[in-house]
Amino acid sequence: MRRSALSNRPDPAGSDMQNEVWAALGAVDDPEYPGVSIVELGLVEDVRVIDQRVVVDLVPTFSGCPALTFIAADVRSAVGALDNIDDVVVTFVAEPAWTPERIAPAARQRIAAGFGVGVQVGVKPVACPQCGQPALREQSLFGPVRCRSVHRCTACGEVVELIR
């Protein structure tokens, strides 16, 4: 079952078991954003249930992301804990490419409030997570992780990172 492109929600026409798997995935947090699930981050592309076997397709934010093996292990343990499931296969797909648009709007707000990290969607100026002004100036294209750049807010002076 492929969810509709940006909804971050399972297809209402999906089977009960598919919905259960989506719910279990909704409880798997991203290792670098505790409290934000991999579903909200748009990492889950597809869930297929074949008899008692589940295949979960994940889209990595960046290829070579060091968190992938941990995310895959967390997915196997969360989905494997459901009743009537014998096997969980996690695959990482190269297409479509992950983009920040895939992060659910509510999660963008929680990431800004909880971690001081903004989300760069398209070329739209991003509000500073600290003061709310759209006055960020890029300092470096890469920050501590490959999916974030470092910025300075010219309004309040805050050092800010953006998921890009």
Partner 1 sequence: MARAWGTISEFEDFLDGGGFVEPNDDMPDEYRDQVFRFIELHANSELMGGLTERDWIPKAPGLRRKMSVLAKTQDEIGHAHLLYMVAADLGVRTRAEMLEDLFAGRGRFHNVFHYQAVTWADQVAIAFLVDAAALISQQAVFKNCSYGPYKRILRRIIAEEGFHMRHGEEMLLVFAEGTAVQREMFQAALDRWWWPTLHMFGPPSKPDDVLLRWHIKSERNEHLRDKWVQKYATLLTGYGFQPPDPDLRRDPETGKWVTGEIDWAPLKATLENLGPDSARRVGDAAHHWADTRWVRDALEARADEAA
Question: Between 10 and 143, whose beta carbon lies closer to partner 1?
Answer: 143
Coil, strand or helix at 28: coil
Question: Between 20 and 32, whose beta carbon lies closer to partner 1?
Answer: 32
Count of residues near partner 1 by CB under 8 A = 28
Binding mask 31-70 for partner 1 (x = CB under 8 A): xxxx-----------------------------xxxx-xx
The number of angstroms, rounded, from the C-alpha of 47 to the middle of its chain's C-alpha atoms is 15
From 14, 26, 60, 114, residue interacting with partner 1 (rule: CB under 8 A): 114
Instruction: List Cβ<8 Å contacts ≥24 apart for 113-121.
Output: 114/33, 114/35, 114/36, 115/33, 116/158, 116/160, 116/161, 117/148, 117/160, 117/161, 117/162, 117/163, 118/151, 118/160, 118/161, 118/162, 118/163, 119/162, 119/163, 120/149, 120/162, 120/163, 120/164
Q: Does 150 bind partner 1 (CB under 8 A)?
A: yes
Question: Between 15 and 142, whose beta carbon lies closer to partner 1?
Answer: 142
Question: Cα separation of 164 and 149, whole Å?
Answer: 7
Question: Between 2 and 70, whose beta carbon lies closer to partner 1?
Answer: 70
Q: Does 159 bind partner 1 (CB under 8 A)?
A: yes
Q: Does 14 bind partner 1 (CB under 8 A)?
A: no
Question: Between 54 and 163, whose beta carbon lies closer to partner 1?
Answer: 163
| Interface ranges with partner 1 (CB under 8 A) | 31-34, 64-67, 69-70, 114-117, 130, 139-140, 142-146, 150, 152, 157-159, 161
